[in-house]
Amino acid sequence: MGLLEGIGSPADVRALAPRQVEALAGEIRTFLVESVSRTGGHLGPNLGVVELTIAMHRVFESPADTFVFDTGHQSYVHKLLTGRQDFSQLRRRDGLSGYPSRAESAHDVVENSHASTALSWADGIAKANELQGRGDRSVVAVIGDGALTGGMAWEALNNIADGQDRRLVIVVNDNGRSYDPTIGGLAHHLDTLRTTQGYENVLSWGKRTLRRSGPPGRAAYDALHGLKKGIKDVVAPQGMFEDLGLKYVGPVDGHDEAAVERALRRARTYAGPVIVHVITEKGRGYTPAEQDIADRFHAVGQIHPETGLPLAPSRFGWTSVFADEIVRIGRRRSDVVAVTAAMLQPVGLAPFAAEFPSRVFDVGIAEQHAATSAAGMAFGGLHPVVAVYATFLNRAFDQVLMDVALHRAGVTFVLDRAGLTGDDGASHNGMWDMAMLGVVPGLRLAAPRDEATLRTALREAVDVDDAPTVVRYPKGAVGDAIPALDEVDGVDVLARTGTGERSVLVVAVGAMAPTALEVADLLGAHGLRVTVVDPRWVLPVSPGLVKLVGDHDHVVTIEDGVVDGGIGAIVAQRTREAGIGTPVQSIGIPRAFLDHATRDQLVGTLRLRPADIARDVLGALGES
């Protein structure tokens, strides 16, 4: 039996002899590559923190000592060391979450968090420990250099530095990357820390020199103090942290478990907050990941474990369409610039950056800053295109509302992975955007249904210079083209079916168009006369759509967003305001956090399959 199989709790990790730790690290890496290659998941981040996580569990005693992982995509090793070694259903329904999960273990605290939040959590827990008389407990926050580019992390550091009697250890897991290489001033600062001769080494030299020169007098001590002060800014850039009132330990080789353990034990002896700076390599120990400069192994689907190549080639996706069209727009419009938040590759901006390097701005994990900086660019005569995952725009709502919309700034937000994404769980479903953005005055939102309408929507969006525009699309492959039969008052008509007396208007929102067409066929077969339309621009609700509502006996809206306050709700409101009595039935996602599962499983559970929707419509019409 291997060492890993004998680990049922952190106590088993602490019981290992030092000579066994390296063997355990090797077993964990082998397990991760073999397991994640079968299920998909975050491979690179976890391979990089094997020794670090082992050391944490040998020095501290979770769950009495609280571990908080920023973002949480590097928590697989933590799961293995806390008794969760069945990875056969990782990120699948009824299997382990791809992130920390309170439902799984008392060792997990923060579930599926967005980035740059761990230090605020740790600050709050440390304050609670202090006030509740738990002064012997430590809080350990693991945050990457990428997450440190987020402003919320620095808000937390400002407060943490004020709590000098609180046991709080901040482990900076410095691998030079988030999804992409870490950018900005902080990245340069950490790079200096990695490459500069150690401050303590220089001081040790000074002390040895003084010892050789005879008994130290006051002048010698003053000289040593002057040496310390003089070299601080040259070879000790950790002064930035120390000037905040935070002790600093490091940098430490994050793949030398004994060295990391020593650094953490030293940090634990401090009564106040301390930063332990650990240098790691993302993808450590797996050759395909170590040699990959594009960071394809941050998160993977099913791959060949030997080569790292995908088992099945990816179909042409929505992101690829955006990537191609934004380059075309950039060639035509020199004022169009691109902005993203540490996700240049995942959102498809790499081709734009390659062709127009001076016109792309990666601001780090700072969506709030991205939105407001874009407003400033618009004021200066540019048209920024801010590309982020839909779930991450939640973080910048105030900036979209008060900086962009209030100032009528021509900024386009492109939301990738909108709607149900599934495997990554509650925090990553991009289902909140339409309901959230529906309250923003002047905002226009497009939900394209296929490749052609995505390209058209992008071109139309960047032509708007007096209001924010949003273009949203789902994760995955683009389906077949869905041409319009004709256009009525600016609304695309996709199908007309059935010959019954009672008429039903089915309003398809974006990627739900194929579902809407299947629903229409089912309703037509039940003796209803059905028209399927796609407004394409769903916010604001167009007068043409309101008119079509009045021409039918019943209306059904189908969207892959939260139904409360969503597009259907807004259509119903506009219909009532126009004095039209046609009932509007809204089909969408309930207001709830959804557990991880495949998209198809979620669609079934939420009754968003065509047959389910058709039954619900017939029920609303009083038909069997």
Residues contributing to the annotated binding site: 73, 113-115, 145-147, 175, 286, 367
Determine contact, residues 140/65, Cβ cutoff 8 Å: yes
Q: How far apart are the C-alpha atoms of 150 and 342, rounded to whole Å? A: 10
Instruction: Count Cβ atoms below 10 Å from residue 95 Cβ, excluding itself.
Output: 15
- Answer for the pair 67, 170: CB distance below 8 angstroms, yes or no: no
Choose, from 282, 444, 574, 599, the residue flagged as catalytic. 282
Burial label for 530, CB within 10 Å (0-12, 13-18, 19+), is buried
Verify whether residue 417 is a known catalytic residue. no
Catalytic residue chosen out of the listed positions 167, 247, 359, 395: 395
**What is the arrangement of strands in the sheet containing 383-389, beginning at the earlier edge strand?**
360-362, 336-340, 383-389, 412-416, 469-472, 444-446, 537-539
What single string gives the DSSP state of each residue in 249-288?
Answer: EEEEETT-HHHHHHHHHHHHH-SS-EEEEEE--TTTT-HH
Give the residue ranges of the annotated binding site for Mg(2+). Answer: 145, 175
Contact 247, 266 (CB under 8 A): no
- Give the span between the Cα atoms of 114 and 98, in whole angstroms: 13
Please give, one letter per residue, the 3-state secondary structure of 552-569. Answer: CCEEEEEEEEECCCCHHH
Return the number of other C-beta atoms located less than 10 Å from residue 418's C-beta: 29
282 has catalytic annotation: yes
Nearest to 179 by CA among 349, 6, 379, 405: 349
DSSP 108-163: --S-SPPTT-HHHHHHHHHHHHHHTT-TT--EEEEEETTGGGSHHHHHHHHHHTT-
Question: Could you tell me which of 491, 483, 505 has the C-alpha nearest to residue 534?
Answer: 491
Task: With CA atoms as reference, report the closest residue to 488 among 544, 556, 557, 551.
Answer: 544
d(CA 110, CA 235): 36
**Known binding-site residue numbers for thiamine diphosphate:** 73, 113-115, 146-147, 175, 286, 367
The token duo for 500 is 């019954």
113 token code pair: 């968090």
Distance CA 442, CA 439 (A): 9
* Contacts (Cβ under 8 Å, ≥6 apart) of 201: none
Contact call for residues 113 and 147 (beta carbons, < 8 A):
no
Question: Which residues are paired to 69 by β-bridges?
Answer: 142
**DSSP codes of every residue in 416-472:** ESBB---TT-TTT-B-SHHHHHTTSTT-EEE---SHHHHHHHHHHHHT--SS-EEEE
Count the Cβ atoms, other than its own, within 10 Å of residue 595: 16
**Which of 257, 261, 325, 367 is labelled catalytic?**
367
To the query of whether residue 247 is one of the catalytic residues in this protein, the response is no
Q: What amino acid positions are annotated as catalytic residues?
A: 282, 367, 395
